[in-house]
Amino acid sequence: MISAASIIFIVVGMIVMMVSNSMPTISRFGLAFLTGSEWKPADGVFGALPFIYGTIVSSLIALIISVPISLGIAIFLTEQAPKKIAAPISFMVELLAAIPSVVYGLWGIFVLAPFIRDHLGVFLETYLGWIPVVGQLFQGRLTGIGMLTGGIILALMTTPIITSVVRDILEVVPNTQREAALALGATKWETTMIVLGNAASGIAGAVVLGLGRALGETMAVTMVIGNSPQISASLFEPAYTIASVLAANFAEATDELYLSALIEMGLVLFLVTFVVNAFAKLLIMSVASGKAGAKNV
Amino acid sequence: MESKISISNLNFFYGKAQALYDINLEIPEREVVAFIGPSGCGKSTFLRTLNRMNDTIPIAKVDGTVLIDGEDIYSSKTDVVALRRKVGMVFQKSNPFPKSIFENVAYGIRINKMQTSKSDLNDRVEKALVNAALWDEVKDRLSSSAFGLSGGQQQRLCIARALAVEPEVILMDEPASALDPIATQKIEELVVELKKDYTIVIVTHNMQQAGRVSDRTAFFMLGKLIEYNPTQKMFTNPDERLTEDYITGRFG
């Protein structure tokens, strides 16, 4: 009882602390804090937009890559693989989720970044860089450190989470649904589509949960994204995320306004991930309780 | 008699455990055959060998022959997808898809690419629902969720869904065991009606039900076929003592 109450106390206490400590920037900049793209702490100019942009774009890159891969792994594990193969792979997926993010970051710096600089980036620029509009994403100087690398690292980190949640959801889809499809002459693939239809809202929940993880991930991204507060069309260019700027700058934020700006960004991140996670939990719960089928038509 | 399904020397194993012993059985076209017997006697397992639904169980092993229209369905040349379209199945617990009433029935038509046009699809769905005696109850809400239907309606929807792919044989695994007496009666009337066009095999725990709907009855016990006779004879003057004991409720 007391420990449960302490949870509420901690959450409320954190919000109160963050709001009160960010009052200087909230009262001084108002909404302009969120829309301003200049970030010059020395001159007392604080615009959070580049960080918000970096956070959202790197997370989107992560999801674009990790969602199809995770779905593929989860479908393989539940619908196709024999138990003997599925069990060790499931174990390894969970092991991946347990690797500390700083280790992912190190790997990103020493393996992924050179690979993107020398191979993947060159490949993307050659084959996609010429396309009008979209091509701009894949042009520019290739250092290996930047938005794309950050996004890929995040994809690696969200894949195990999304995979294991989706796998759990597919496992609770009743077998009678698979049999119903098979009995009508459905192929293995058509049967899998029926299973996915049953699990749709839970899968959406798993994706949102992955998004929550990507938004808040700090260490690994900080190590590879380049930490430069700019909004650039190119994914090769360095960027910055909210979590990264908080981690990297707290020590040097000496004046009150600078500190307040950082705390306000922390508040923004906290609220966004809080909402995203709550939403994900609701979606997953609707499947786990077995009522999902009744809800989606 | 013209056999639609002809089973000879069928043995079935779950891993090392044998579930069916040397079954021989002829199922005539356009008749209703009921499988009865105590729980765990293998009647459902046997039913599921007729559309190879047991294929989904990795440790299952079938030995013997099952001929449908003279073709061995366990031959390596058999197209299992085509077999299951020809041999439809209705399950113990109604299992509609999380889709609309219309889409539930349309599903099998779509995946088997049977429709020639949009209106043909509508016609096929309507026909299946009419044949499953459900049309009048759902025609005004075809686009609403199948889960809004009552248990009995859901089961008839599953029958309509099976009929829509135009099978020749329909396997029913205790289709009314979860339904109230009135819904059960509707299913039974439907089975008798469907007999005109389909060969039906129905597993049931309900002795009266077997008596009411079937032309022939097969009695199973401990994985063995004890007796197979016209239903009327089975229920009035069975050949085997075991059958008589079971039917009169001395065990089971």
Count the helices and strands in chain A (H runs, E runs): 16, 2
Query: Which residue's structure tokens are 């109850």?
Result: B137
Run of H or E residues at B72:
strand B71-72
In the A/B pair of chains, how many CB contacts fall below 8 A? 74
For residue B124, tell me if it sits in a domain: yes
d(CA A69, CA B124): 38
What residue in B sits closest to A292 (Cα-Cα)? B98
* CA-based nearest residue to B88, from B72, B68, B74: B68
What residue in B sits closest to A200 (Cα-Cα)? B98
Q: If pLDDT is split at 50, 70 and 90, which confidence band does A295 have? A: very low
What residue in A sits closest to B112 (Cα-Cα)? A185
User: B47, B81, B102, B166: which to substitute to probe chain A, counting the most A Cβ within 10 Å?
Assistant: B81
For residue B217, tell me if it sits in a domain: yes
Q: What are B40's two structure tokens?
A: 């765990």
Using the predicted structure, report yes or no on whether residue A166 has a pLDDT greater than 60: yes
Packed helices B101-111 and B118-131: angle between N→C axes, nearest 10 degrees: 110
Print the domain residue range for B192. 3-247
Q: Is B160 on the interface with A (CB under 8 A)?
A: no
Run of H or E residues at A175:
helix A175-183
Using the predicted structure, report yes or no on whether residue B17 has a pLDDT greater than 50: yes
For residue B252, tell me if it sits in a domain: no
ipTM: 0.90
Q: Choose the closest CB to B89 out of A183, A194, A197.
A: A183
For residue B45, tell me if it sits in a domain: yes
A55-244+269-296 topology per CATH? MetI-like fold (1.10.3720)
What's the average model confidence in pLDDT over A154-175? 94
Using the predicted structure, report yes or no on whether residue B32 has a pLDDT greater than 70: yes
Q: If pLDDT is split at 50, 70 and 90, which confidence band does A289 have? A: low
CATH number of the domain to which B111 belongs: 3.40.50.300
Q: Choose the closest CB to B108 out of A177, A184, A296.
A: A184
Distance from first CA to last CA of chain A, Å, rounded? 41
> What is the tally of structural domains in chain B?
1
What's the average model confidence in pLDDT over B71-95? 93
Q: Average model confidence (pLDDT) for chain A?
A: 90
